[in-house]
């Protein structure tokens, strides 16, 4: 069984999903980390043409596991966990993720991961394209300005040297790319519950979603 949280970059879906997973003892799947891993592999391969890269990707085995408060990703046994969070990867991930072949590859990886257990996952098209029959779907959103401030603080805390203006520009471009890609664009699923986090504290948004999940799980049983 899987619960999905979709939304644009910086909406808080990843940190929210992680916290909910801990509180409700669910397993966590970070779809964005998988796309970042593929983007990192593309960069490391010298940024080849997309068709050439997909041929390389077919020989890659991705493994993922959330342990010790970190979502770990490996490619053919090589740990990519640290490098997938670089600003360079962030700058290319939407471009790489927009490729239909790449999306099909990652979708297959995710479906394999969640075959057993109860998962909560965050992404951009999980409720519409990957898991249309998910047990519960949420769509988190916030103003671009608030999303940029959140992401800027995260990157500052991790020691990355960026400006708020650069972060906001990156988020605007990612929104544009994600919403206009031909393959599985970012959008709210018709049956998803909208959670607007603008002006809300982190605890407020977590509590709101947790309450809904707990109630639905009770009804299921």
> 195: domain CATH number?
3.40.50.300
CB 5 within 8 A of CB 136: no
CB 216 within 8 A of CB 134: no
* Residue 219, domain member (yes or no): no
* Residue 221, domain member (yes or no): no
* Residue 166, domain member (yes or no): yes
**d(Cα 187, Cα 185) in Å, to the nearest integer?**
6
Q: How many CB atoms lie within 10 A of CB 68?
A: 6
pLDDT at 221 (0 to 100): 54
Q: Which two tokens stand for residue 200?
A: 């809300």
Output the tens digit of pLDDT for each of the chain's 221 residues.
Answer: 899 999 988 888 888 999 999 999 999 999 889 999 999 999 999 999 878 898 898 899 999 988 888 899 999 999 999 999 888 998 899 889 888 889 899 999 999 989 888 999 998 889 998 999 999 999 999 999 999 988 898 888 888 888 899 899 989 988 888 888 777 788 899 999 999 988 888 999 999 999 999 999 887 65
* Residue 108, domain member (yes or no): yes
Q: If residue 162 lies in a helix (H) or strand (E), which one and from where to where?
A: none
CB 157 within 8 A of CB 145: no
- Of 62, 5, 14, 1, the C-alpha closest to 212 is 5
* Residue 9, domain member (yes or no): yes
* Residue 20, domain member (yes or no): yes
What is the residue range of 19's domain?
2-213
- The number of domains in the chain is 1
Distance of CA 91 to CAs 126, 145, 193, 218, Å? 22, 18, 29, 42
CB 80 within 8 A of CB 160: no
* Residue 218, domain member (yes or no): no
Q: Which two tokens stand for residue 65?
A: 């596991």
* Residue 122, domain member (yes or no): yes
């Amino acid at each position: 069984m899987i619960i999905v949280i979709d939304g644009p970059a910086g909406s808080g879906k990843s940190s929210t999903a992680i916290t909910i997973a801990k509180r409700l003892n669910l397993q966590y799947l970070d779809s964005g980390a998988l796309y970042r891993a593929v983007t990192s592999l593309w960069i490391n391969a010298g940024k080849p043409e997309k068709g050439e890269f997909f041929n390389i990707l077919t020989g890659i085995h991705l493994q993922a596991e959330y342990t010790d408060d970190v979502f770990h990703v490996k490619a053919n046994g090589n740990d990519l966990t640290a490098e997938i969070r670089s600003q360079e990867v962030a700058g290319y991930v939407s471009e790489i993720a927009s490729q239909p072949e790449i999306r099909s590859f990652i979708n297959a990886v995710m479906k394999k991961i969640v075959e057993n257990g109860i998962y909560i996952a965050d992404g951009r098209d999980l409720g519409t394209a990957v898991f249309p029959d998910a047990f519960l779907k949420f769509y988190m959103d916030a103003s671009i300005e608030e999303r940029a401030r959140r992401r800027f603080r995260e990157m500052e805390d991790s020691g990355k040297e960026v400006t708020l203006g650069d972060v906001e520009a990156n988020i605007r471009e990612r929104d544009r790319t994600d919403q206009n890609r031909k393959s599985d664009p970012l959008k709210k699923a018709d049956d998803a519950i909208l959670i607007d986090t603008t002006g809300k504290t982190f605890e407020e948004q977590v509590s709101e979603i947790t309450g809904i999940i707990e109630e639905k799980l009770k009804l299921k049983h």
